Chain A
């Protein structure tokens, strides 16, 4: 997209289309499609090495686990055969793409006003009556009242993902590193210990998996062709409104 459009507000209109997603958003989205799947699947392989989760600083086989799962099957892990060393190489290499992608996107979105204009919730939007209306609209699968902006439930979900889950993923990941524990001991205090951080890492990852399922499901319901087009080109078709 030309730069002129980049600096335009969200609703540049052109023959029934509006410009919805800036280049930074689209680029980060597609990089994440690859990166997040690699992180989730290599993460499951790492989890398989010790499929038990604990709270606190320590936790091993003799200690009570709050969650113990069977090992994840090969189709869900990278690599598909048990190989902790290789899974760690995948995970710790793509962690750089994941973390710096997030930093780049949040920095860019803060700079270009995307967060303030499109993600931040106004007081009116978080009013219970307004939220309830939005819940009912979602329940009716009515997503097209206003394609130029995110609806409140969307904003809440994106805020949760952008500001809690994704940064939480990176920070709990760093907290599991004994080297980082020495460099930044506050990480251990922030999450209540290394094993708590490992548990939260798993919970946040489940949150991401849940978000992906919800996101893909809603895109399919709201119109996958238009959704794909707008995330590839930036332009989305506006629903013709019946008079």
Chain B
């Protein structure tokens, strides 16, 4: 009796799973599911002040070890050469829909007004790490370049080649771009940013998940739409695996 019931339950679970797998691979059902994503984006933006800050922590609340994730060492001779030169010749370009295209060396970024913040990094996988980030508010770079009125998004082009094919890329909208905690960080826990965490400079966009925090940033491009950017979904993992563009949840 109990065996039969267990078999029924297992059979039920198996048919539920296969039914859900079939549904989950159906494009129309997927777009139905993605209404949830749109809803989350719209309601979170409606509920939160544009300038609402991510929580900042005390120094003693930091993770003893800040885990590196994703690319740990970007492949290729060009990046290795930069490491050897201590990134003396690294440039971060700001271009696209801007009035005055810019190119910043790391020294130039470090000479600008800085912001430090101890924040929590949340990976989409579920883990969190707290660390202190120091860098230039992204707003200052945008002010220097002067965004054109048609610019709606910023695309971050990175130096790490993924699976040897495409370099990593991510994008955010202007609400997050001008947020006071959005910085181009060059230091982690008062030390120069390690290679595993995105040296020489990475994005911190504190109200979103880890995959939005582009590392090894070489170019910041202002665009009117994400449609023409790579796969059109606004980021490497968004295009490749279907992760949400809005990584706030």
Contact = CB atoms under 8 A, between A and B. Distances in A.
- A associates with B: yes
Interface of A: 37-38, 41, 46-47, 49-50, 52, 57-63, 74-81, 83-86, 88-90, 92-96, 176-185, 188, 194-195, 198
Contacts of A180: 44, 47-48, 248-249
A177 B249 contact: yes
B126 A47 contact: yes
B243 A179 contact: no
A177 B120 CA distance: 12
Contact of A85 (B14, B16, B47, B241): B241
How many chain B residues sit at the interface, stated as a range, is 35 or more
B81 interface: no
25 contacts: A50-B127, A57-B57, A58-B62, A58-B130, A60-B65, A62-B64, A63-B64, A76-B13, A77-B17, A78-B17, A78-B20, A78-B21, A79-B17, A83-B241, A84-B124, A89-B36, A92-B37, A176-B122, A178-B206, A178-B208, A180-B48, A183-B52, A194-B120, A194-B128, A198-B126
B219 interface: no
Contacts, number: 162
Contacts of A52: 127
Nearest to B126: A50
Given A76-B13, A178-B209, A179-B207, A86 B44 contact: no
Pairs of residues from A and B, 3 with the lowest C-beta to C-beta distance, nearest first: A179-B248, A93-B36, A183-B48
B128 A58 contact: yes
Contact of A49 (B10, B49, B57, B125): B125
A77 B24 CA distance: 12
A59 B244 CA distance: 23
B55 A179 contact: no
Given A86-B24, A178-B122, A75 B249 contact: no
B63 interface: yes
A41 B34 contact: no
A198 B123 CA distance: 12
B20 A89 contact: no
Contacts of A182: 48, 52-55, 206-207
A185 B36 contact: no
A37 B14 CA distance: 12
B242 interface: yes
Nearest to B52: A182
Given A61-B67, A90-B24, 20 more contacts: A58-B63, A63-B63, A79-B17, A85-B237, A89-B24, A89-B33, A89-B244, A90-B33, A92-B36, A94-B36, A176-B126, A176-B249, A178-B54, A178-B206, A181-B54, A181-B55, A183-B44, A183-B47, A183-B49, A183-B52
A57 B130 CA distance: 8
A75 B127 contact: no
Interface in B28-82: 30, 32-37, 39-40, 44, 47-49, 52-55, 57, 61-65, 67
Interface string B222-236: 000000000000000
A63 B40 CA distance: 30
A62 B131 CA distance: 14
Nearest to B18: A80
B95 to A, nearest CB: 29
A188 B61 CA distance: 14
